[in-house]
Amino acid sequence: MNMTDRKLVVIGGDAAGMSAASKVRREHPEREIVVFERGRHTSYAACGMPYYIAGQIDSAEKLVARAPKVFREKQRIDVRTRHEVVAIDTTNRRVRVRDLDAIREFEESWDDLLIATGAAPIVPDLPNIRAPGVFSLSTLQSGIDVFEDIERHAPRRAVIVGGGYIGIEMAEALLDRDLEVTLIDMAPQLMNTMDPDMADGIAKAMRDAGVELFLEEALKTIETGPDGRVRQLTTDQRRLDADLVILGIGIRPASELAKPAGIELGAAGAIRVDRQMRTSVPNVWAAGDCAESFHIVKEEPTFIALGTVANKHGLVAGINLSGGDVEFPGVLGTAITRFEDLEIARTGLSEKEARDMGIAYRAKTIEALTRSHYFPGAAKIKVKLVVEEGTGRVLGGQIVGRAGAAKRIDTIAAAITARMTAEQVAYLDLAYAPPFSPVWDPVQTAARTLS
């Protein structure tokens, strides 16, 4: 069958799905492409939701890169929102679809299928976990729901469950909305992807801003008032008043369609794919947060749910679905966030990960300034590097600091990808001017201590 004659069905209309569909359309202007999306929106910036909730972005529409109507009219991609795929038949190459508005089901045929269903928030099985005032952030609509709830009910006390990226960003957002904010986490530190010595500074900044932090405490119950809305929750150590609860416990790959269809699962229950985003079943592909990735340092499959990764997955899948031949090179888990003016970033292996892998390593942490010491606005930055013992190869890095600190993580990510040593990083020809960096950039200062 000619590639142009192969009908493509995509399940999921966000980053990975629409990146792939758009690439296929550019390569094959006449090919039939159908996208099923169970929500109302396509191609939106989920990472921007906390800033919309905070009021820093004045419209949810600004988070939409391309609306369904644009895909339909300008790219001739048949995008059907409020359509949920409920089953995949790989033998007869059909999907069963539920039209959520018309309340009917039908089947759609395909020659090639791309699963791009994303990730779903982890929601504990507790009574009242879905009571009014309790939210998980995943889709753009969930962010809109939180914003509208705050506008309508004017809550005064918020409790955030989970101290990862969503928890930290939502703490800032809710402080901006003048709420009293408490954050609980069952772990002994915030940001488990970082080492404790780097996470300590995040906790201090949050407490200094007025956030109550209760670590090593697990959520036990959620209690509601006479109106059915959340009023309190309890941990294993205390009772907390709450008019608003944000669950940021974590996410899981939304891969539940795969296993009944005979499609193999891999790391953390994500859909197993090769480097070209092919699944274990011919003509079925997967990309984005529902699919596993290859970790460049660990050299094994991993589950990394990030918008940057999803877009790249989608592009690779789209190229190969168009008849190309490319491989996804892998991930490092490079991530960046902030709490107010404190910037936070990490990439590669933490010390804990290196220990768990049995790697002999060395690690050093340095403190420096983001600019020349005499230049106005010079701020503190803390950089940690992890290198392989013996070779000096850079394995990971973490950064916590004020304005201008965190994007330096990209230098470390590039160095890890290139398999550079700490000594090579120390002698990189990086840019310098007093408004941007000391003569020795803090990343290079850290590298010098390990070279």
So which residues are the catalytic ones? Answer: 47
Pairing of the two strands 361-369 and 342-348: unpaired
Tell me which H or E stretch contains 167: helix 165-176
**Is the separation of the CB atoms in 216 and 188 below 8 Å?**
yes
DSSP one-letter string for 292-332: -EEETTTTEEE----HHHHHHHHHHHHHHHTT-------B-
Residues 336, 337, 343, 345: is their CA dihedral positive or negative? negative
**Cβ-based burial of 313 (10 A; exposed 0-12, middle 13-18, buried ≥19):** buried
Give CA separation, 24 vs 68, 271, 288, in Å: 17, 22, 16
CB distance 199 to 215 below 8 Å: no
Measured between alpha carbons, how far is 276 from 294 in angstroms, rounded to an integer? Answer: 11
What SS3 state is found at 201? Answer: helix
Q: What does DSSP assign to residue 40?
A: S
Name the residue among 260, 229, 261 with its Cα closest to residue 244. Answer: 229
Beta bridge partners of 105: 98
Residue with tokens 């033998």: 91
State the DSSP H helix or E strand holding residue 111, giving kind and residue range, or none if neither: none
Residues 6+ away with beta carbon under 8 Å from 205: 339, 340, 342
- Three-state SS for 67? coil
* Tokens describing residue 189: 């530190």
Q: Which tokens belong to 226?
A: 């006479």
CA dist 329 and 293 (Å) reads 9
Which residues touch 417 (CB under 8 Å, ≥6 apart)?
296, 329, 332
Q: Which helix (H) or strand (E) holds 226?
A: none
Q: Which residues of 398-422 are buried (b: 16+ CB within 10 A; e: fewer)?
A: bbbbbebbbebbebbbbbbbeebbb
Chain-centroid distance, C-alpha 34? 26
Which tokens belong to 358? Answer: 């049995």
Question: Would you call 212 helix, strand, or coil by DSSP?
Answer: strand
